[in-house]
Amino acid sequence: MKILGISAYYHDSAAAIIENGNVLFAAQEERFTRVKNDASFPENAIKFCLSESGIDLGDIDIISFYEKPFLKFERLLETYYAYAPLGFKSFAKAIPVWLKEKLFIKQNIRKSLKSIGNVDNIPISFPEHHLSHAASSFYTSPFKKSAFLSIDGVGEWTTTSYGIACGEKGIEIMGELHFPDSLGLFYSSFTYFLGFEVNKGEYKMMGLAPYSNSSSERAQQFIKTIKDNLVDIESDGSIQLNRKYFEYPVGLRMVDPQKWAKLFGIKQRLPEEKLEQVHADLAFAAQSVLEEILVKIIRFIKQETNEQYLCLSGGVALNCVANSVLFNQDLFEDIFVQPAAGDAGGALGAALAVAHIKEDRIFDGLHKPFNPYLGSRCSDNDIERLLQKHKCNYRYYSSNEELTEATAQLIASKKVVGWFRGRTEFGPRALGNRSILADASDPEMQYKLNMKIKFREGFRPFAPAVCEEDFDTYFEAGKHSYYMLFTNNVKQSIKKELPEGFHSFGLDEKRNFIKSDLPAITHIDYSARVQVVKKDINPVFWSLIKSYQKQTGIGVVINTSFNVKDEPIVNTPEEAYACFMKSGMDALVLENYIVEK
């Protein structure tokens, strides 16, 4: 059975194709349109998946959309009615879009795909949003049976769901939390107030939070203010938000900035304004409350299900710091998060959910790690045409061994390398195929990458990539994440002692102190968002790190996504070359070709 999964019309639209329960290809629409977090119908991603899989649209057995639009429309109408006359501006803006596009999605899917083929006779399924999330995680996990937790902004009505996923019986949802009480939207409200873009900047707030700490009196006061005024937290982790302080149910903004300014004693930060310590303290408070709630939830889930394993999904599951807090509770033997945990992964989950329902398929866990390299790739002919077009001087390496040795030499000589090889990763993280690579031991590298390569905020940390067998040399025991979705502390043996009164320094000064022997990847709290590289998942990237280790004695490299601020990760050789030329990168690897400036 061939199934096309689709997610669209909120953010991070995507498409995926599976056949007989096996994932063939998946891609986000943003990679083709170059609109970051593109929410439009994923026509380009669908065309790609069909073309690469060699499947004609007419051969698709089922199309599966990742949520139920009528149920979502019901939630909008009931919410506007409950809050009336508030929200009229939002209502007037939203309803025409729903009547034109979103409500009649079945017709729109058929209409949008007419240019590709006839789908009039292909059935279209609509699994619920949180079922799609749960399926995307469980059916890509190594577990035969597990508990699951799906947590995001909102699907149709549901904002949080949990239950048991079983390979024989399917997915059983045991409990839900409903809109407007949403942990995801609670976190996004702070994202908005701190001057970051909602649905795009949450990870920035997560990265800012460690610039404060639990010893900060102001941060602790912010935590108290949040718990006293914004959210009631029950022992099972369920929450009730104080409607007085949140406008997202019917408004055009997340919160009333004046009310929050009065509550917290600071005004809303505008996007262009400098980040101050008070902003870090508020980010820390929001992150801490998020973690407290999540810990209560998984304790409750463990008590209710008594399962050994847990699958996480939804946008909140992209918070790698919180994921690690949950893992370190030792309530479950293992926790799994698939690389596209947010709405893009909903396309994959929608297809997998329908496959296992329609085919009555027994799932006994993946017998090897889930392959995240599901997107596009290019041929040597494509690359040679590009290099000739731009009259580039280049070197071609006939073997991967020669290529990785040459690339490792560039990184060892403090060069920043754009690395474009194999298929594009599915999800928001670059995992060694569309990456910018650099020396993690260089104290200046974090600043250089942020300012001259990525053109982004200087406080932003960078992720390390390490071969699995070398993990224990550099990082404390914890979750081995192949998808960069957990954090680990650097080993005590490579830490550097911080000066007395460290937390009295400003944000820029804190960033400049060297915190370990790998300063470019060590965050201010000694943590790192580690990608553990397994040889049989990505053998060429693994070989590159090994070659670098052989040359330098260091088994860790910086791995950050191949893009600049506010752009999607590069998808084609032309995009990679353009990004290389407009940034401060020193060298570009396109498959087995190397170009240097």
Domains in the chain, ordered, with CATH? 2-140+342-358 (3.30.420.40), 183-327 (3.30.420.40), 380-596 (3.90.870.20)
The partner residues of 312 in beta bridges, in order of sequence, read: 149, 337
pLDDT > 90? residue 87 = no
pLDDT > 70? residue 422 = yes
pLDDT at 508: 86
pLDDT > 90? residue 65 = yes
| Tokens representing residue 517 in the block | 């022997």
Minimal CA–CA distance to 503: which of 221, 213, 286, 204?
213
pLDDT > 70? residue 101 = no
Phi, psi of 2 (to 5 degrees): -105, 125
Q: What is d(CA 523, CA 531) in angstroms, rounded to the nearest whole number?
A: 15
Q: Residues 40-51: what's their mean pLDDT?
A: 97
Q: What is d(CA 70, CA 390) in angstroms, rounded to the nearest whole number?
A: 51
Q: Residues 251-273: what's their mean pLDDT?
A: 95
Q: Which range is least confidently modeled, 70-74, 177-181, 459-463, 511-515?
A: 70-74
Type and span of the H or E element at 326: helix 320-327
pLDDT > 70? residue 81 = no
Minimal CA–CA distance to 527: which of 351, 323, 331, 238?
323
Evaluated on CA atoms 512, 517, 521, 527, the torsion sign reads negative
pLDDT > 80? residue 103 = no
Pairing of strands 527-528, 239-241: unpaired
- What's the pLDDT tens digit per position in 440-478? 999 999 999 999 999 988 888 899 999 999 999 999 999
501-525: burial string, b at 16+ Cβ within 10 Å, e else: eeeebebeebbeeebbbbbbbbbbb
Token pair 């370190």 is found at 328
Q: Which range is least confidently modeled, 95-109, 162-176, 354-368?
A: 95-109
- What's the pLDDT tens digit per position in 534-558? 999 999 999 999 999 999 999 999 9
Q: What is d(CA 46, CA 41) in angstroms, rounded to the nearest whole number?
A: 9
pLDDT grade, residue 91 (50/70/90)? low
Any idea what the Cα angle at residue 447 is, between residues 222 and 340, rounded to 5°?
65
Residue type, 6: I
pLDDT grade, residue 359 (50/70/90)? confident
324, 339, 459, 561, 563 from 429: Cα distances, Å: 17, 7, 19, 7, 11
C-beta neighbour count of 483 within 10 angstroms: 24
Q: What is d(CA 131, CA 170) in angstroms, rounded to the nearest whole number?
A: 10
pLDDT at 361: 78
Q: Residues 61-65: what's their mean pLDDT?
A: 97
pLDDT at 303: 98
pLDDT > 80? residue 96 = no
pLDDT at 195: 97
Secondary structure E strands in 548-592? 556-561, 587-590
- What's the pLDDT tens digit per position in 552-586? 999 999 999 999 998 999 999 999 999 999 999 99
pLDDT > 90? residue 167 = yes
Q: What is d(CA 391, CA 524) in angstroms, rounded to the nearest whole number?
A: 43
Cβ pair 526, 495 in contact under 8 A: yes
3, 12, 551 from 341: Cα distances, Å: 20, 11, 36
pLDDT > 80? residue 133 = yes
Residue 151: partners with Cβ closer than 8 Å, 6 or more residues away:
159, 160, 161, 183, 184, 294, 297, 312, 313, 314, 315, 316, 317
The partner residues of 170 in beta bridges, in order of sequence, read: 166
C-beta neighbour count of 298 within 10 angstroms: 22
Predicted model pTM: 0.94
Q: What is the mean pLDDT of the chain?
A: 95
pLDDT > 80? residue 337 = yes
The partner residues of 593 in beta bridges, in order of sequence, read: 396, 590
Q: What is d(CA 431, CA 77) in angstroms, rounded to the nearest whole number?
A: 41
Q: What is d(CA 373, CA 376) in angstroms, rounded to the nearest whole number?
A: 9
pLDDT at 250: 85
pLDDT at 85: 67
pLDDT > 90? residue 206 = yes
C-beta neighbour count of 174 within 10 angstroms: 13
Angle between helices 277-305 and 183-193 (to 10 degrees): 170
pLDDT at 461: 86
Q: In what order do the strands lie in the sheet with 2-7?
A: 22-28, 14-19, 2-7, 62-65, 124-125
pLDDT > 70? residue 397 = yes
Q: Residues 201-205: what's their mean pLDDT?
A: 95
pLDDT grade, residue 82 (50/70/90)? confident
